[in-house]
Amino acid sequence: MDELLKRIEEARHNMHELAERYGLTAPQVVEQSQKLDKLLNTYYQMKARKSA
């Protein structure tokens, strides 16, 4: 889970850098946002399984 959290933070950081460089609607930013969404979904699924 720690590795996943690290990947989430890296993806978030990358998304913010891309957004500053290209603007929020740039294809690179949208793609990075989708990657971050997938990581977050995985995290929440894992967390839900642990608490079930």
CATH number at residue 28: 4.10.280.10
For the beta carbon of residue 10, count every other beta carbon within 10 angstroms.
12
Q: C-alpha distances in angstroms, 28 versus 6, 21, 45, 47? A: 21, 10, 26, 29
Domain count, the chain: 1
Angstrom distance (rounded) from CA 15 to CA 22 = 10
pLDDT score recorded for residue 7: 98
| Average pLDDT for runs of 10 along the chain of length 52 | 96 98 98 98 94 80
Tell me which DSSP letter residue 26 carries. S
Q: What is the domain extent for residue 7?
A: 2-51
Question: Are the C-beta atoms of 18 and 28 separated by less than 8 Å?
Answer: yes
